[in-house]
Structures are given as structure tokens and as C-alpha cells.
Chains A and B, each alone.
Chain A
Amino acid sequence: MTLDVVLKKSPDAAYRIYDGEATIVLPSHASVHVLNPIGSFVWESLDGRATLAQILDRVVEEYDIGREAAEADLLQFVGALRAQGMVG
């Protein structure tokens, strides 16, 4: 996956944010996921308009984390979300 990709939340996913943590329910997989605050920040940004590069900019701006490490984490994280059918 590259940073020019645009992803959006799967319409299958039901979710709410509690205390900054996204709780995501996937009916088709009968599973519930709770994301940490940075994961939740990314999740909320996956709106089908922003590229991953733009989301990376926001993460680096919002959190005290180096760009290189953030990029690796972001790509791994959205890859996992995609593998689980949570984004497309």
C-alpha cells in the first residue's frame, strides 16, 4: 500500500467513539474491535476523501511521533483494517 491511497470506512462497520477510543462492530464477522486513541484518530480520518499522506500529516501534527515511524505504523494499521474488511 502507498500513501496516495484513499480509503473509507466500510459501510458494514458500525461504530462509536468512547473516551477517544473507536469501538467498531462488524456484523459480517461477528467481531468487535476497540482502537487506541491514535488508531481512532486515523479511523475517523478515513472518510473516502483524504489520502493516507494527508492523514499521516495530521497524525504527525497531532501526536508526538516521528514521521518515519508514523508512516510505517499507519501503513501497517490501515493494512490490518483492510484485511479485516473494516475499510475499502
Chain B
Amino acid sequence: MTTPYDDLRNRNFSRAMPMNALFELTFVCNHACSFCYNCPTGQKEMNTQEVIDSLRKLAELNILYLTLSGGEPLVRKDFFDIAQAARQMGFALRIYTNGYLIDEPMAKRIKAIANPIEVEMSIHGGTAATHEKLTCVPGSFRKVVDATRFLRAEGIKVNLKCPVTRNNQDEVLEMDRLAAEVGATIIFDTVITPRDDGDREPVLQMSTDEFLERFWKDDAYRSARREDVPRPRIDQGGEAICGTGRSSLAIDPYGNIYPCVQLRRKAGNIRELASLKDMWRSSPVLIEVRRAAVEVAERLKTEQHGDQCGFCMGVAELQMGDLMSVYPQVARNAEFRAKAYEAWKREHEGEDPGGVSTRCEM
């Protein structure tokens, strides 16, 4: 059964009417994470007025959900001017931050001015030693935990994200417990992506086979993976695999427009466009990725364990040079998901856990 909101989103998705934008306000960051995907070019980042002008164009495109990201967005001294302008333009805000600057007064200010539907922060371990080995900033683990508590005290939803690597895989259960303790949700991503410049070093840190088998199969990880069993993707009959350039777009700190934060094919520059509407309909880049997203969904049906692939065209292009090629780490993850699914079916003869929509719209 679908809700009126589900119906509306599906309609907008199928007609490529965008609802989501991710805005990287800056590439400046107060962390030095070894795995960071950002690749600053040294160009001049947009000033306050240019950002606000850009928000106006996104509002004209009828974007509802706006994610303020970075770098670290809170290092911008005009962050709250931007957030306030965005709220006045009717956006529902999400904030992606490392949480380092969020003390109690800052959490109150975020609530009062930005009033986000969600704040998302990365966590890289269940202990300070593991987390800080990656962020390279002493005290950053405590800051994430405290920031979560301060934001929750203001009634703000907090979602923690953890890219699982061989460095932190043994602390997944600890992180899951910690998230529950501080009132946050947590998502573990078992597929690691390369940097935006194609550097594959982060991919080499992907978790071990032994961990992937445990994670997708063992009951102990049920809460962490947020599902009883890794269910296959529903065949949605010719629908695009994701919302890249369809339901969402991304803007970098220089004003460049991309179909998605992960798919860095430049479609234009928001500073140079009077309106986004024409570009949204006529951009060859956007037309191409929308078409590819439909084709990929079909192609995955012929791949081994294709229905268990959380496929990302951006990663495919970056790593394989082809939007539609299955990359090794997603294939490996899918293999372990499929094994766990088959084992579950053997143990639950006659039962059907159903399928899942894995549509990514950010």
C-alpha cells in the first residue's frame, strides 16, 4: 500500500521532476580524513550572495529537500545566513556535517534557524582510537557523540553514517549500540567508493570477506543492517535505478552542477544560468544519465546477483570508466548478500521476505 506522498514522489520520479538538491557550500574542512572523496581545485568558492542567488534558482526549479554539505558546511561564517535564507525560501533542510563545531549553543542555533529535518554525521569507529585514526583529529570522536546528544536534546533527528572498512569492521556492533544509546539512527555502508579524482586507495580498505559474511547473515547484526535478511531489489519494470539527474542534482562550491554528488559530470554552472529550468530539460549530460539509469536497471537483471547490487553509476564511471559496469566491491557485497538470502530461504522454507526498493535519490 502506498501513501499519497509515495504516489507523488513516484510520479515526480518517473517524469524527472526534481525534489532534492545537495549543495556543497565549501570544500574547506576542519578534519583531514584519509578517505575524503572531495577534490578541491583551488577555484574561488561562491560568496554569500552567489549562494543565495543559487538557492533562489533551486527554489524556482521546485526543489523541496535541500542538503547543505561540504567539506564542512559549518566552517562557513555565513552558514546561518544561508540556512535562514533557505528556510525562508521554503526548503526542508538536511545538514551533512562532521559535528566538530556543534556544542550546545550551536545545536540550539541550528534548531532555531535551520530547523533541519535531519542532521547527518559520519562515524568511523566505536572507539576514539579507531575513529580518530581516520579523521586525524584528536577529540573528534567525543565531539560526534556530544554533538549527537546536543542535537537530540533539541529534538533534531540525527543519522550517523559509517563506511565500513577493515579498520572499523570489528566495532560495528559497538557503533550500533552507541547510536541507540544517544538516540540516533545509523547506516552502515559496506561498499567503499574511490575518491572523486579516481584514487582507489579507500577501496583497498573495504571490509574482509569474513566480515561481509557475518554482517549479512548473522542475527547479531540484524539491528546494524536494519533488515532481517538482505532482500533482493524489486523489479520496477523499466524504472531508473536511481534519481541521478532525475529527482536530484548536486552543486559544488564553485557553482558547478552535477547529476548527483557521486556522478561528477558537469551539466552547467549555476552562476552562469538565469534559470535552471531550461538546463534541467535540455542538458545532454542529464538526458544521458537518466537514460543510462534505466538501462542499468535492465542490465543488472542479467548480472550474477544483480538484484542484490546497490549499484551507483557515479562509482562505476569513476572506477570502471563506464556508467554501467559493475565494479568489484559492489559485486562482492552483492555476492554475500545473495548467500545470506539463499541461506535464509533454506531455513524459512515457504516464506517470502519480499523485495525492496533500493532507489537512491541523493
Contact = CB atoms under 8 A, between A and B. Distances in A.
Interface of A: 11-12, 14-19, 21, 23, 25, 27-28, 30, 32-34
23 contacts: A11-B87, A14-B64, A14-B92, A15-B64, A16-B62, A16-B63, A16-B90, A18-B8, A18-B12, A21-B8, A23-B8, A25-B64, A25-B65, A25-B117, A27-B92, A27-B93, A27-B115, A27-B116, A28-B155, A30-B157, A32-B5, A34-B3, A34-B5
Contacts of A34: 3-5, 7-8
A84 B144 CA distance: 32
A27 B5 contact: no
Contacts of B359: none
A28 B155 CA distance: 7
A25 B91 CA distance: 9
A88 to B, nearest CB: 15
Nearest to A25: B92
Interface string B82-122: 00000100111100000000000000000000011100000
Given A17-B62, A30-B157, 5 more contacts: A16-B90, A18-B17, A27-B92, A27-B93, A27-B115
B11 interface: yes
B84 to A, nearest CB: 11
Interface in B8-65: 8, 11-12, 17, 19, 62-65
Contacts of A28: 115, 155
A11 B87 CA distance: 8
A45 to B, nearest CB: 16
B5 A23 contact: yes
Of B19, B64, B91, the most chain A CB neighbours within 10 A belong to B64
B125 to A, nearest CB: 28
Contacts of B90: 14-16
A87 B281 CA distance: 35
Nearest to B91: A14
A19 to B, nearest CB: 7
A36 B63 CA distance: 19
B116 to A, nearest CB: 6
Residue among A12, A16, A28 with most chain B CB within 10 A: A16
Nearest to A16: B64
A19 B117 CA distance: 24
Nearest to A13: B90
Contacts of B3: 34
A23 B116 contact: no
A33 B64 CA distance: 13
Q: When A and B form their complex, which 9 residue pairs have the shortest distance between CB atoms, in order from nearest? A: A14-B92, A25-B92, A34-B4, A16-B64, A27-B117, A27-B115, A34-B5, A32-B5, A16-B62
B115 A12 contact: yes
Contacts of A16: 19, 62-64, 90
Nearest to A36: B4
Nearest to B94: A27
B62 A14 contact: no
Contacts of A30: 117, 157
A15 B59 CA distance: 10
Nearest to B11: A19
B356 to A, nearest CB: 20
A18 B115 CA distance: 23
A17 B19 CA distance: 11
Contacts of B117: 14, 25, 27, 30
A28 B7 CA distance: 23
Contact of B87 (A14, A18, A23, A33): A14
A11 B89 CA distance: 10
Contacts of B116: 27
A32 B64 CA distance: 11
B229 to A, nearest CB: 27
A23 B64 contact: yes
